[in-house]
């Protein structure tokens, strides 16, 4: 839609600004613009921004510059984050943060005879969305809708629930697999279900879903 394209262009511009803070300005470029990626329950417009890191900057500088990403905070970022803090009733916790891996290059200190880790390794991170947190047998799901001036609440709500659909399906498949395994041991499925409800309570089947919008 026109709204989605306009919002995406704004976010690409934000990403360029974030990357520009830590990279040589002449190397910052948009490698891919508004490609449609299709998934099981949603479609996304995706773009890619890259740049050559300045020698005085580290990978940690890139994390500080980029996160929280504009796609989950809004713009202007500082004011948007203030509004999120004031308006959202649930803490985001790990949701919309940075998840990934960080590697270290290790060299040998010939004088000390020990390996010394240097902050020169590779890293790869992503935004922690479409994730499930399981604690005390309760699955916590979070999703968001990007609110702009001409947003319609019914459409934003539909977008949010669609984003949750894949995670919900994963849980359904996992539960069915668990029941099937137990059933193969000679117990009827219904008996397994009632047994688990008695043992763990109804919360074992109750998904606590939370939606957060920026």
Active site residues: 44, 71, 95, 130, 146
CB 16 within 8 A of CB 65: no
Nearest CA to 61 among 33, 100, 32, 19?
Answer: 19
CB 127 within 8 A of CB 141: no
Residues in the chain: 214
CB-count burial class (<10 Å; 0-12, 13-18, 19+) for 152? exposed
Q: Tell me the C-alpha distance between 66 and 83, whole Å.
A: 19
């Amino acid at each position: 839609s026109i709204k989605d394209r306009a919002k995406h262009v704004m976010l690409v511009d934000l990403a360029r600004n974030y990357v520009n803070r830590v990279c040589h300005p002449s190397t910052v470029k948009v490698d891919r613009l508004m490609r449609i990626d299709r998934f099981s329950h949603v479609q996304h417009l995706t773009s890619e921004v890259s740049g050559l890191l300045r020698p005085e900057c580290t990978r940690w500088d890139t994390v500080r510059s980029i996160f929280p990403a504009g796609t989950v905070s809004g713009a202007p970022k500082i004011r948007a984050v203030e509004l999120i803090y004031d308006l959202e009733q649930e803490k985001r916790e790990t949701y919309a943060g940075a998840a990934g891996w960080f590697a270290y290059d290790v060299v040998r200190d010939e004088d000390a005879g020990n390996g010394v880790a240097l902050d020169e390794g590779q890293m790869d991170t992503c935004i922690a969305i479409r994730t499930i947190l399981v604690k005390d047998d309760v699955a916590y799901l979070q999703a968001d809708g990007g609110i702009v001036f001409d947003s319609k609440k019914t459409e934003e709500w539909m977008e949010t629930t669609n984003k949750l659909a894949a995670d919900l399906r994963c849980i359904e498949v996992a539960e069915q697999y668990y029941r099937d395994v137990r059933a193969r041991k000679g117990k009827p499925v219904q008996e397994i279900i009632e047994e688990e409800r008695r043992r763990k309570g109804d919360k074992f089947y109750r998904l606590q879903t939370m939606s957060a919008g920026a």
